[in-house]
Amino acid sequence: MKLNLDILPLSSWLNTGKEPLVISGPCSAETEEQTLSTAHLLAATGKVSVLRAGIWKPRTRPGEFEGIGSIGLQWLKRAKEETGLLTAVEVATAKHVEEALAAGVDILWIGARSTANPFTVQEIADALKGVDVPVLIKNPVNPDLSLWIGALERVNRAGIKKLAAIHRGFSSYEKTAFRNEPMWDLAIQLKTIAPDLPILNDPSHICGNRELIPYVMQKAVDLDMQGFIIESHIDPSVAWTDAKQQVTPAALAELIDHLNLRHADSNDPVFEDKLAHLRKEIDKLDDQVIKIVADRMKIVEKIGEYKRENGVTILQVNRWDEIIQKRQNLAKALNLDLDFTVKLMELIHNESIRKQNVIMNDKPVQEV
Ligand code: PEP
Ligand code: MN
């Protein structure tokens, strides 16, 4: 499936001449002084193109700081006048959109909580009709690619062609080192079905702490994401929101300096030649993998027929344990990741069981 989005290339609406594209600023605009001083330091790094700041903050619990409100828009306006940085704020209602546009905000973004709610997204999309402003859409809080796609479609159908996605990680029940699990495969899936849609990475909200940020940023670069939206505060230790994950402007500059930038394509013909050769090898091996899996399925069908004739159950746990054990031993010897090997075998085994189900019941058993 390919996503049908009517969008303009990022370079046509945000040509900063800087690589990677960096949007940075505090989680929340707290005071005029904090907003302006952070903006000046960020601009001075020469690495930041857009100043971000939350004005209306969606908080999990009431009573926490819920944003400074409309007055913050005036601080951003001043920051822009003084530094030349473009400005970006999160909008969650039609009123936010109107106020942000009236105050001359350059870029709007839709936060993760809003993306999770199609009513909210539609309200924002309706407010954007007839407006020419770039909109960035964060992934929804929950790992649901359709919600993310739905939000992109709603905003795009409202006529917004300057569109990009922000990967900020997903909430998961299991607690890991990340505040929000990156689940990179969801961002990759989005990239696969919408190859022209720019994707920015938000390492701050994925990590929830400063320590993991370099790892996540490098991974985003390696996956060919176009840039970052990253929180920066003049003094993170006293930040009113998300204190643990914000970095000083100086630390931000260092993070960017340490990135190992790679390119999707190279102009070196020797490299291209070698790459083409290696890709041919991969194609050959992939064909073999498919063929071998198909051969395996044929045998699986034969076994299914024997089992049916002899009234034996499809799943025999001992046999499955034996398969997994033997394959893991081989994988270990061949330096293959064990987790990966088990997942691969499970995938093949599930398909084998599905096939045998068809044979033994004459029709597929419905998934529940
Ligand atoms: C933010 O960018 O400060 C924010 C609230 O992010 P998210 O919507 O990703 O939680
Ligand atoms: Mn934040």
Domain 10-257: what homologous superfamily? Answer: Aldolase class I (3.20.20.70)
pLDDT per residue as tens digits for the range 182-234? 999 999 999 999 999 999 999 999 999 999 999 999 999 999 999 999 999 99
Question: Is residue 206 lining ligand 1, measured as CB closer than 6 Å?
Answer: no
> Is the minimum distance from the CB of 233 to ligand 1 under 6 angstroms?
no
CB atoms within 10 A of CB 331: 18
User: Which pLDDT does position 363 carry in this prediction?
Assistant: 55
266: left (phi over 0), alpha (psi -120 to 50) or beta: beta
Taking all residues of the chain, what is their mean pLDDT, rounded to a whole number?
A: 94
Return the half-sphere exposure (C-beta side, CA atoms, 13 A cut-off) of residue 71: 8
Euclidean distance between CA atoms 276 and 282, whole angstroms:
10
Q: Which of 205, 206, 229, 246 to mutate to test ligand 1, by most ligand atoms within 8 A of the CB atom?
A: 205
Per-residue pLDDT tens over the stretch 335-344: 999 999 999 9
Alpha-carbon distance of 131 to 45, in angstroms, equals 32
Taking the centre of ligand 1 as the mean of its atom positions, its distance from the CA of residue 205, in whole angstroms, is 7
- The per-residue pLDDT for 214 is 97
Q: Quickly state the pLDDT bin for 368 (edges 50, 70, 90).
A: very low
Q: Which amino acid is at 24?
A: S
CA 18 to chain centre: 21
Short-list 160, 157, 93, 147, CA closest to 115: 147
% of the chain at pLDDT higher than 70: 98
What average pLDDT score do residues 41-64 get?
93
* For the chain, domain boundaries: 10-257, 269-361
Looking at residue 311, what is its pLDDT? 85
Extended strands (E) in 140-299:
163-167, 199-201, 227-231
What 3-state class would DSSP assign to 240? coil
Does a cis peptide bond (omega within 30 degrees of 0) precede residue 20? yes
> Given a cut of 70, is residue 366 above it in pLDDT?
no
Q: Is the pLDDT of residue 365 over 90?
A: no
Interval 110-160: pLDDT, tens: 999 999 999 999 999 999 999 999 999 999 999 999 999 999 999 999 999
- Looking at residue 250, its amino acid is A
The pair of three-digit structure tokens given for residue 42, joined into one six-digit string: 């960020």
Ligand 1 atom having least distance to the Cα of 52: 2
Q: Is 335 left (phi over 0), alpha (psi -120 to 50) or beta?
A: left
* Domain boundaries 269-361, corresponding CATH code: 1.20.59.10
The tokens describing 265, both together, are 């394509």
As a whole number, mean pLDDT of residues 2-9 equals 95
Burial string for 236-263 (b: 16+ CB within 10 Å, else e) reads beebbbbeebbbbbeebbebbeebeeee
Q: DSSP alpha helices (H): ranges in 91-139? A: 94-102, 112-115, 118-128
Q: Whose CA is nearest to atom 3 of ligand 1?
A: 27
Question: 88 forms bridges with which residues in the sheet?
Answer: 52, 107
Q: Is the confidence at residue 361, as pLDDT, over 90? A: no
Bridge partners, residue 229, by sequence: 23
pTM for the whole structure: 0.81
Q: Whose CA is nearest to atom 4 of ligand 1?
A: 111
